[in-house]
Amino acid sequence: MEVSFFIQGWLLGFSIAAPVGPIGVLCIRRTLSAGLTAGLCAGLGAACADSVYGSIAAFGLSALSDVLLAFQHELRLVGGLFLLYLGGRTFLAPPSALESAAAPLAGRLADFGSTLLLTLANPMTILSFAAIFAGLGIGSRPGDYGAATFMVGGVFCGSLLWWCILAATVSQFRSRLGPGNFRLMQRVSGCMLVSFGLVSLFAK
């Protein structure tokens, strides 16, 4: 049964991570600008955030869930402003900034932290996990920590797998892009991040 819960969590984590969104664009941008390690760190941050929200739903932490949902508009505002900042910075950065793969540990921690916080800024994800887990009977029975643990572990692994696939795929194309294409990708990424930021700010 534990393996079954893990597989279900794995599929859930992969499917929630896979749709294209601001985190995906950010992961692609980081991989193009600083290489595979940067993209993997960004993806790890998103996978950890998915696991946090998955844990809240799986372990039935309704009080914490209610608090986060109560402040969803404020969190969305912060996330939207951060996306506007990242998008503007990406669009205006000189092309040379996209060609260096060397970065200190602080840079990789920033890659991890930015996607972690951006993903956590969307507490509506809790409702997705809660609805699916309720259908599977997870989180509704007090003390059922074994199934919840395996489910959350699967969510983390499934989400992380998607980000590894995405970063590795983008990394294969990185060495083939010349300065002109880097500049184009930089501007496209910047515009997409700004667009996601505006949607986050003005969404009802």
Helix (H) / strand (E) element for 146: namely helix 145-174
Which domain does 47 fall in, by range? 2-73+95-177
CB 71 within 8 A of CB 126: no
Identify whether 165 is part of a domain: yes
Highest averaged pLDDT of the listed ranges 16-20, 93-97, 124-128, 167-171: 167-171
pLDDT for the residue numbered 136: 61
Q: Which helix (H) or strand (E) holds 84?
A: helix 72-92
Answer whether residue 15 is part of any domain: yes
38: which 2 tokens?
């940067």
User: Mean pLDDT across the stretch 113-118?
Assistant: 89
pLDDT range class, residue 190, cuts 50, 70, 90: confident
| pLDDT category of residue 179 using cuts at 50, 70 and 90 | low
Could you give the number of structural domains in the chain?
Answer: 1
Angle value at C-alpha 7, between 4 and 13, nearest 5 degrees: 140
Query: Could you tell me if residue 189 is inside a domain?
Result: no
Q: Is residue 188 part of a domain?
A: no
The residue-averaged pLDDT of 45-70 equals: 77
Q: Which tokens belong to 100?
A: 């260096």
Tokens of 88: 């503007």
What is the distance between the alpha carbons of residues 198 and 190, in angstroms, rounded to a whole number?
A: 12
- What is the average per-residue pLDDT within 159-174? 90
pLDDT band at 65 (very low <50, low <70, confident <90, very high): low
Higher pLDDT, 20 or 114: 114
**Per-residue pLDDT at 163 exceeds 90:** yes
Tell whether 79 is covered by a domain. no
Q: How does residue 99 score in pLDDT terms, banded at 50, 70 and 90?
A: very low
Question: In this predicted model, which residue has the larger pLDDT, 61 or 202?
Answer: 202
Quickly state the pLDDT bin for 133 (edges 50, 70, 90): low
In a domain, 25, yes or no: yes
Is there a domain that residue 197 lies in?
Answer: no
Does residue 85 sit within a domain? no
Identity of residue 102: A
